[in-house]
Amino acid sequence: MNPRHGVLLTLALCALALIASGASALPELDLGDRILIDGFSDEFERDEFLFQSRPQGGVEESTSDSQWGLFNDVNQMKITWDANFVYVAIDGFIFNNNTMVFFDTVPLADGQNPGLTSLSQVNSWRRAVSFDNGIFPDLFAATWDGNTTPQLWTYTGPNQVAQIPQGSFPTVASFSGDLPRRSMEAAIPWDVFFLGQGVREFDPAYGDTIYRMPDPDFEVRIVSWITAGADGTGGPDSAPDNLSGHQVDGSIPVVLDNYVRLRMDRFDANGDPNPDGVPDFGQPVRTPTRPDMSEEEYRAVVDDFFFLAPPIRGTALEIKDIRLEPRAFAPDLGEDLEFLFTITPEIQDELLREVRRIDFTAEVFDLNGRKVRTLYDEAEFTIASLDGSTFLPVNRFDGRDDEGRILEGGVYLLRLILEPDQDQTQEALVVVR
């Protein structure tokens, strides 16, 4: 053998050994050979699963927590990316129904968030769902049972979304009744994912043309849910679990107030923990859990990955036991009315108590339906701030209107509203003159 050939062979073998051992620092810039968009997500790797097993037992996302049963349940969400696409999969069942996955990808601009706050009035895919706790979706993918070509829609303005032309990106769904292991998959181009707010350019550190994120510090926020097919309907399940829960009745509005918090840029091209404005290639999407993980290790992972780590037993709150003392009172004599009530059920989970938000409204109306006094206008409280039935800073009504004038004698209605739970009740009171 020619000695020169022997040296070249030796170098080639060494290079192959380095690559096989994982010593190569080159990131994965093209996953097209591994991720096949076919409606079956088996090729995603475990560190690309957004929900994992809990070291203490159980799972972060149950396959049997839907109000409509096993065959209308989000089981798993998966995500990864390369230099061209964000690859997404939603696994589960949507028997005769729909599924949607929402992405909040664009941060606040001049104090205004360019995203959806609800779908109740949107021009397409109108549903009884709103968003809370900091997620305002900029785009969503959606499909229905039996449909093989999911749709992708982007936010264009208040209550307005526009569909990305089908065929301009790879997407397939395979949901079919009660058949298992079915998914909605999509390969979303980076410029669509970030609503065109970014730049594609050659980066010598990567040796390729890559997409530079509009705001590397922004956490992409993701949530999915099951919904019925008709406009104005709610749904039985979301992933991650929401805080206010779901109901069997599909007409009841749903609040999606929990989500995955995904930092897409944590490392540089060499894999060092130095964000460089480019989505991380070849890095774990999240840290897989291990059976031997301590509670402290586990909390360090999930507390930064979710708004509130699942599983969560979402609970809709209600106003109960309203008491007006006294029901009839004379403002002219310096009397006022105290209104007391109880919010049920009692929530024991301390983390949920700290983040579960209530917007409280208290208003007084005359019998003609005219509002005469606003006592609270969507005042924000958390469960932890509640103290029995007397949590309000001021829970008295002095019998005056919003201009400070004593009301005419007669019967009035005190209306109390809890949002986003959509619970409200009212009680009659009497102003004596």
**What percent of the chain shows pLDDT beyond 90?**
70
pLDDT at residue 419, rounded to an integer: 77
Alpha-carbon distance of 155 to 162, in angstroms, equals: 7
pLDDT at residue 422, rounded to an integer: 65
CB of 55 closer than 8 Å to CB of 292: yes
**What percent of the chain shows pLDDT beyond 70?**
90
C-alpha angle 301-420-244 in degrees, rounded to nearest 5:
45
pLDDT digits (tens, 9 = 90+) for 159-202: 999 999 988 999 999 999 999 999 999 999 999 999 998 899 99
Q: pLDDT averaged over the chain?
A: 88
Alpha-carbon distance of 109 to 195, in angstroms, equals: 13
Classified as helix, coil or strand, 202 is strand
Average pLDDT over residues 321-325: 90
| pLDDT confidence tier of residue 378, bands split at 50, 70 and 90 | confident
pLDDT digits (tens, 9 = 90+) for 18-44: 334 333 344 679 999 999 999 999 999
Given a cut of 90, is residue 420 above it in pLDDT? no
Average pLDDT over residues 202-216: 90
pLDDT at residue 387, rounded to an integer: 55
Alpha-carbon distance of 183 to 78, in angstroms, equals: 10
- For the chain, the C-alpha Rg in angstroms (whole number) is 27
Nearest to 43 by CA among 28, 53, 33, 52: 33
User: Does pTM top 0.85 for this prediction?
Assistant: no
Locate 193 and state its tokens.
């994912």
pLDDT at residue 19, rounded to an integer: 37
Average pLDDT over residues 67-95: 97
CB of 380 closer than 8 Å to CB of 362: no
pLDDT at residue 112, rounded to an integer: 63
Q: Which residues pair with 208 in a beta bridge?
A: 203
Question: Which range, of 12-16, 102-106, 147-151, 326-330, averages the lowest pLDDT?
Answer: 12-16
**Diameter of the chain measured on Cα atoms:** 115
Burial 255-289 (b: 16+ CB within 10 A, else e): bbbbbbbbbbbbbbbeeeeebbbbbbbbeebbbeb
Question: Which range, of 36-45, 61-70, 268-277, 416-425, averages the lowest pLDDT?
Answer: 416-425
Q: In one letter, which amino acid is 72?
A: N
| pLDDT confidence tier of residue 13, bands split at 50, 70 and 90 | very low
Residue 1 vs residue 296, higher pLDDT:
296
What are the distances in angstroms from CA 240 to CA 24, 65, 309, 400? 36, 11, 8, 45
Alpha-carbon distance of 224 to 189, in angstroms, equals: 19
| pLDDT confidence tier of residue 90, bands split at 50, 70 and 90 | very high
Q: Please tell me the total number of residues recorded for the chain in this structure.
A: 433
**Sheet of strand 328-329: strand arrangement:** 328-329, 423-431, 410-419, 357-366, 371-382
Classified as helix, coil or strand, 360 is strand
Given a cut of 50, is residue 66 above it in pLDDT? yes
CB of 83 closer than 8 Å to CB of 198: no
pLDDT at residue 359, rounded to an integer: 84
Locate 398 and state its tokens.
């002095």
Average pLDDT over residues 140-156: 97
C-alpha angle 224-137-133 in degrees, rounded to nearest 5:
85
pLDDT digits (tens, 9 = 90+) for 236-289: 999 999 998 999 999 999 999 999 999 999 999 888 998 999 999 989 999 999
Alpha-carbon distance of 127 to 142, in angstroms, equals: 12
Alpha helices, DSSP H only, in 251-374? 295-302, 350-355
pLDDT at residue 317, rounded to an integer: 83
> Could you tell me whether strands 423-431 and 318-325 are parallel, antiparallel, or unpaired per DSSP bridges?
unpaired
pLDDT at residue 27, rounded to an integer: 60
Question: How many CB atoms sit inside 10 A of residue 248's CB?
Answer: 10
Average pLDDT over residues 114-129: 95
pLDDT at residue 391, rounded to an integer: 53
Give the end-to-end CA distance of the chain in Å, rounded to a whole number.
Answer: 115
- Highest mean pLDDT among 304-308, 390-394, 419-423 belongs to 304-308
What are the distances in angstroms from CA 177 to CA 47, 87, 93, 116, 218? 29, 24, 7, 30, 38
Question: How many CB atoms sit inside 10 A of residue 47's CB?
Answer: 13
Question: How many CB atoms sit inside 10 A of residue 42's CB?
Answer: 10
Alpha-carbon distance of 313 to 246, in angstroms, equals: 10
Average pLDDT over residues 291-319: 90
Phi and psi at 282, nearest 5°, equal: 75, 15
| pLDDT confidence tier of residue 389, bands split at 50, 70 and 90 | very low
Give the list of residues 6+ apart from residue 14 with CB closer than 8 angstroms, or none: none
pLDDT at residue 217, rounded to an integer: 87
Nearest to 205 by CA among 27, 30, 24: 27
pLDDT at residue 121, rounded to an integer: 95
Question: Which range, of 58-62, 142-146, 265-269, 379-383, averages the lowest pLDDT?
Answer: 379-383
Given a cut of 60, is residue 82 above it in pLDDT? yes
CB of 355 closer than 8 Å to CB of 382: yes
| pLDDT confidence tier of residue 354, bands split at 50, 70 and 90 | confident
